[in-house]
A and B are shown apart, each in its own frame.
Chain A
């Protein structure tokens, strides 16, 4: 019994202990719940009107701003790209749009809304400083710059207005100085879209800004545990947010890739080469067009010449035919005479004896021939008297080579050869124009010409540089010489007058020996 009673007693004591323990835990649990609620309330940033902005609200504001920024930048960049003949300007405008918007979306899908705000503030401010304050927009886009300036300015005003809702004036000023200092320390950095707050600033400035969510200034403290819960909750939302915007970002990325590719020096060179090939082909076509015309002209000239020569040849042949005909007639006459003479000679031989009669008759025959056909007898001149020979020589000079069939035959042969060669030339020219080697050769000539032009430009620049250097060196030497001359003349003058004065002083000084004396 005792043991049962004791058991009950122990059970009651245990129960009581359990109740007491739970009662003791109750205030702790209640206070824990209260503190969690307080922390949740505190997990936000108070704007200047005193209204509490939660981290989730700030996250939404940041995302809203990113979309607004995208609208502004796309408007500006599309205005810059529209009807712009400059590939470089279009490429840069596209790059500003792509990099800026990608960066903004990258920022607003960050885990921490306050860091999102700082990074947006930094990115947009730096971008406006680079393109507006440094006048890079003017330098790059010239008269089209205003559109970009206006939109970037608007983007900057809006992000600072957003920041002013959650930061004190002093914090804003510190942030402004931090950004300005960073910009001044990095004057040549133009691609600022991916600079983040973590990368800038001195330790003190950074700590002032970074401590904002911990409750410095106007801001309410943020509980780390609550932030972690918020982060998890917002993770999926961020994924959806970015996935909705990814298609056009990818589209822009591809477009930027094409632009980049086109802007590469190698591609530019190839494009220039294509242009050159086009020009070369055009030039070749022109030459091709010209070539048949030239060949036709040359053919026409040649045939004209042939016609001309043919005419001469015909007349010459006609003449020679007439001459031959005359010669034949003459030969017949001569033959008849010869026959007659033979008969006469034979008769005379019989009458006077063979040996004495033949020379006499031969001489008579020659004389007769000479009188009968003086124009056609070239072989009898040696037997003429000197006066007759001189007259015959003059006559033969005046009418020499009136007909030489060998010469014409040779000319015709040459002409045939020439025509044959011409035909070959025309044929080979046609083949040449059609051959790839022709294109290659044209290309080589173009390249060689370009190289020479480049070399000449380079050489002329070197010469100008050398002339300037030598001029400067010469000027320096002259200046140095002038300085030396000046110093020397001053020294001479001093020496001349000073020496004179010293001499005078010395002359008027009483002799030392005298004093001693």
Chain B
């Protein structure tokens, strides 16, 4: 009898402690988290475990958007494999498929998926398709000044603001009143900021998704780099621009975006991974996987990229890390 009560009290204590523990966990982000950005990495992703010693050089040619990320991965991997060396050549996503085709590189980083024609060329030469591995997510955010009362926007409105062709069918929008702002904002003209470089990844993605492949207006004030574009909006109350979510500042806020005009989504990792946020994109690495498999040192490096350590570096770089399912999918492609 005494033993029975002992068990009951013990169980009750465990329940109370468990309840507190659950509460504590719910108030904290999943570990590990990146300071300042607060991007959490899925704790279900497996840690990287060294399966072999790696030395030698690996070549990567392609997107300059992923260059910085590749450098981070390389430095992290090198701390465990001092003999490893990664050579990164930027130049844009378009340079990746030909380099992979010609065998100039073993890693082809791209900020967009390969086109059918590019895949066809590869298949024609090797007799099999290149392996596409999703390594991270990037989300473009639409920035306005922090005093701006507008909180949300549709893709069609973005097209109406930035495009000269307005392929999404909306009317021309030139002042904030047309986006629902009232009072002194109603007649305020919208100041547009954008990229000077038409080859920038953000420029391409924005033009494809928000402008429906249309052209930008000519009177956009252009800046050479992303941080400068966002800062321009932070210094101009009537400004609007687009850039990676990574460049958020205290003088700007991002807008929730809707593709259908009904449901608006903020640029969060959850909304990006679920596909709800319209201006999100995957970042890819394409590899040549012959029937014998991927070259061992490249495969080991890719395993590191898809591990918890690799995805933590993704978050540290300001991109959205993969969830456990996508990481496992990538690992499966390497192993097959």
A484 touches B231 (CB 8 A): no
Q: How large is the interface on B (under 10, 10 to 19, 20 to 34, 35 or more residues)?
A: 35 or more
Q: Is A389 an interface residue (CB 8 A)?
A: no
Q: Is B8 an interface residue (CB 8 A)?
A: yes
Query: Could you give, for residues 130-149 of chain A, a 1 whenever the CB lies within 8 Å of some chain B CB and a 0 otherwise?
Result: 00111100100000000001
Q: Which chain A positions have C-beta within 8 A of B199?
A: 169
A187 touches B235 (CB 8 A): no
Alpha-carbon gap, A157 to B36, bound state (A): 26
Q: Which chain A positions have C-beta within 8 A of B227?
A: 125, 129, 133, 176, 179-180
Alpha-carbon gap, A179 to B227, bound state (A): 10
Q: Which residue of A lies closest to B68 (CB)?
A: A177
Q: Is A488 an interface residue (CB 8 A)?
A: yes
Q: Is A153 an interface residue (CB 8 A)?
A: yes
Q: Is B67 an interface residue (CB 8 A)?
A: yes
Q: Which of B245-263 contact A (CB under 8 A)?
A: 246-247, 249-251
Q: Which chain A positions have C-beta within 8 A of B19?
A: 483
Q: Least Cβ distance of A231 to chain B in Å?
A: 29
Alpha-carbon gap, A138 to B230, bound state (A): 17
Alpha-carbon gap, A480 to B37, bound state (A): 35
Q: Which chain B positions have C-beta within 8 A of A125?
A: 227
Q: Is B228 an interface residue (CB 8 A)?
A: yes
Q: Which residue of B lies closest to A163 (CB)?
A: B224
* CB contact between B247 and one of A132, A135, A180, A484 (< 8 Å): that residue: A180
Q: A184-B36, A483-B19 are in contact. Are A133 and B251 (CB under 8 A)?
A: yes
Q: Is A173 an interface residue (CB 8 A)?
A: yes
A487 touches B249 (CB 8 A): no
A133 touches B90 (CB 8 A): no
Q: Least Cβ distance of B232 to chain A in Å?
A: 7
Q: Least Cβ distance of B317 to chain A in Å?
A: 8
Query: Could you give, for residues 43-74 of chain B, a 1 whenever the CB lies within 8 Å of some chain A CB and a 0 otherwise?
Result: 00000000000000000000010011001101
Q: Least Cβ distance of A447 to chain B in Å?
A: 43
Q: Which of A174-202 contact B (CB under 8 A)?
A: 174-177, 179-181, 184, 187, 202
Q: A169-B199, A204-B71 are in contact. Are A480 and B231 (CB under 8 A)?
A: no
B12 touches A491 (CB 8 A): yes
Q: Least Cβ distance of A437 to chain B in Å?
A: 57
Query: Could you give, for residues 80-112 of chain B, a 1 whenever the CB lies within 8 Å of some chain A CB and a 0 otherwise?
Result: 000000001011000000000000000000000
Query: Could you give, for residues 217-250 of chain B, a 1 whenever the CB lies within 8 Å of some chain A CB and a 0 otherwise?
Result: 0000001111110111011000000000011011
A133 touches B228 (CB 8 A): no
Q: Is A156 an interface residue (CB 8 A)?
A: yes
Q: Which residue of A lies closest to B67 (CB)?
A: A174
Q: Which chain B positions have C-beta within 8 A of A179?
A: 227
Q: Is B197 an interface residue (CB 8 A)?
A: yes
B249 touches A133 (CB 8 A): yes
B12 touches A172 (CB 8 A): no
Q: Least Cβ distance of B1 to chain A in Å?
A: 13
Q: A133-B234, A160-B228, A173-B225 are in contact. Are A491 and B251 (CB under 8 A)?
A: no
Alpha-carbon gap, A156 to B247, bound state (A): 16
A133 touches B91 (CB 8 A): no
Query: Could you give, for residues 356-374 of chain A, a 1 whenever the CB lies within 8 Å of some chain B CB and a 0 otherwise?
Result: 0000000000000000000
Q: Is B24 an interface residue (CB 8 A)?
A: no
Q: Which chain A positions have C-beta within 8 A of B36?
A: 184, 187
B68 touches A484 (CB 8 A): no
Q: Least Cβ distance of A340 to chain B in Å?
A: 125
B90 touches A170 (CB 8 A): yes
Alpha-carbon gap, A209 to B317, bound state (A): 19
Alpha-carbon gap, A177 to B316, bound state (A): 12
Q: Is A115 an interface residue (CB 8 A)?
A: no
B15 touches A172 (CB 8 A): no
Query: Could you give, for residues 20-45 of chain B, a 1 whenever the CB lies within 8 Å of some chain A CB and a 0 otherwise?
Result: 00000000000000011100000000
Query: Could you give, for residues 265-299 of chain B, a 1 whenever the CB lies within 8 Å of some chain A CB and a 0 otherwise?
Result: 00000000000000000000000000000000000
Alpha-carbon gap, A134 to B19, bound state (A): 39
Q: Is A164 an interface residue (CB 8 A)?
A: yes
Q: Is A150 an interface residue (CB 8 A)?
A: yes
B16 touches A480 (CB 8 A): yes
Alpha-carbon gap, A174 to B72, bound state (A): 13
Q: Which chain B positions have C-beta within 8 A of A153?
A: 231-232, 235
Q: Is A128 an interface residue (CB 8 A)?
A: yes
Max count, chain A CB within 10 A of own CB: residue among B35, B72, B231: B231
Max count, chain A CB within 10 A of own CB: residue among B11, B37, B72, B225: B225
* CB contact between A169 and one of B13, B68, B88, B224 (< 8 Å): that residue: B224
B231 touches A160 (CB 8 A): no
Q: Least Cβ distance of B73 to chain A in Å?
A: 11
Q: A132-B251, A133-B250, A177-B68 are in contact. Are A149 and B235 (CB under 8 A)?
A: yes
Q: Is B215 an interface residue (CB 8 A)?
A: no
Q: Which of A315-349 contact B (CB under 8 A)?
A: none
Q: Is A14 an interface residue (CB 8 A)?
A: no
A484 touches B251 (CB 8 A): no
Q: Which chain B positions have C-beta within 8 A of A156?
A: 228, 231
Alpha-carbon gap, A202 to B316, bound state (A): 14
Q: A132-B249, A160-B225 are in contact. List 11 more A-B contacts (CB 8 A).
A: A163-B224, A174-B68, A180-B247, A184-B318, A187-B36, A202-B75, A204-B71, A204-B74, A483-B19, A484-B13, A487-B16
Q: Would you list 7 pairs from A and B whose C-beta atoms are within 8 A, ordered by A residue? A: A153-B231, A169-B200, A170-B91, A174-B64, A174-B67, A179-B227, A202-B75
Residues of B in contact with A (beta carbons under 8 Å apart): 8, 11-13, 15-16, 19, 35-37, 64, 67-68, 71-72, 74-75, 88, 90-91, 197, 199-200, 223-228, 230-232, 234-235, 246-247, 249-251, 318
Residues of A in contact with B (beta carbons under 8 Å apart): 125, 128-129, 132-135, 138, 149-150, 153, 156-157, 160-161, 163-164, 169-170, 172-177, 179-181, 184, 187, 202-205, 480, 483-484, 487-488, 491
